[in-house]
Amino acid sequence: MAKVHVLYTGGTIGCVPDAQGALAPVPGPEFERLVLSMPGLSGHRVADHPGLTWTMGWLDRTLDSSAMTPADWIVIARRILDVYDEHDGFVVLHGTDSMAYTASALSFLLPGLSKPVILGGSQVPLTVALSDALPNLVGALALAGTLPVPEVCVFFDTRLLRGNRARKIDANRFAGFGSPNFPPLATVGSFVDRNSALWLPMPGEDSSLSVPANRAGRREELDAQAAALDGFSVPMLWLHPGIRASTVSAMLSGTVPAAKGLVLLAFGEGNGPTDPAFLAALAGADRSGVVVMDNTQVQAGAVLPGAYATGLGAVGAVGAYDMTPEASYAKLVCLLAAGLDPVAVKGLMATPIAGELTVIDA
């Protein structure tokens, strides 16, 4: 027997038109009734998977994922911990716009996972006949109940992706998510093709969330991180030809609460302008304790520290290697919320802790 818990947060999958014709997610009880009316999901069971049952919970306020904040990441992590011992896997139904951010964050907020946490959703609501919602939902449920992958994942359009490697790559097609720098963990067709050699290892008893004491400690740490979030900001800056030093300075000095981190979306392998004033603005931020991450605007490939004379490592920026911008942002927020000093944060940002990056020599 396997039991999966579904946490419905909102998103397109649960949307219906409001009085003005705009889509809005329905409340949790209404969504559960809708899911129970779907083929293969009645009676809180999953057809063709004998013994697989599911329960459902929801946020008090369902959200379009574009309204998600880091505080919501912690709410979701807590809700998973609340029911962790009674279930074998978890599905988080989420809007697609910021799903990659939440999946990345959960991988850092829930170290010690011994059970799958699978984020899913759809490009078209469940109430629409021609929709990707039902196969995405059934697939996520089946995988969460049958695949012992001990990490946070995204399931979308037949592919199970590592959560902190996933990106939204298309706003319209059913194949809305990809993983440019890492292969799928599994692929669903007439059978499930497992790529289990890529899965993260099962945690030891000293860290596993299956141990009650470890879950209690994680809850305390989440409480502390939640309280810390109001004390800092982490902006993201897309570099472009002609960007001015004043733009960097204005972003860092004008953000409230004060910025403790900055994610740069740089050119190519992490390159940026060589204008001395621009570099001085970044160097000044680094000296003041702001952790600057050097990411790339390019979908695939990696930031290679020191590969070019125009690299940003000389002003203290940390190369992201092949980490996605979403994972880089979420990881930076989570580490800063944990109260670590800039030196410690820099070291961990360049170190894989949940399978989010591959260290590559220049």
Can you give the pLDDT at residue 19?
Answer: 75
Ranges of the chain whose pLDDT falls below 70: 306-311, 362
Can you give the pLDDT at residue 360?
Answer: 81
Can you give the pLDDT at residue 309?
Answer: 60
Q: Are residues 63 and 169 in the same domain?
A: yes
Contact indicator for 179, 130 with CB cutoff of 8 Å? no
Q: Are residues 143 and 260 in the same domain?
A: no
- Summarize pLDDT for 179-234 with one digit per residue, the tens: 999 999 999 999 999 999 999 999 999 999 999 999 999 999 999 999 999 999 99
Can you give the pLDDT at residue 331?
Answer: 98
Can you give the pLDDT at residue 362?
Answer: 57
CA 74 to chain centroid, in Å, comes to 12
Q: Are residues 211 and 260 in the same domain?
A: no
- The CATH number for 60's domain is 3.40.50.1170
Residue that finishes a domain, picked among 223, 241, 261:
223
Residue 357 lies in a domain: no
Question: What share of the chain has pLDDT > 90, as a percent?
Answer: 92
Residue that finishes a domain, picked among 192, 223, 254:
223
Q: Are residues 245 and 96 in the same domain?
A: no
Residue that finishes a domain, picked among 223, 252, 277:
223
Structural domain of residue 193, as residue ranges? 2-223
The residues carrying an active-site annotation are 12
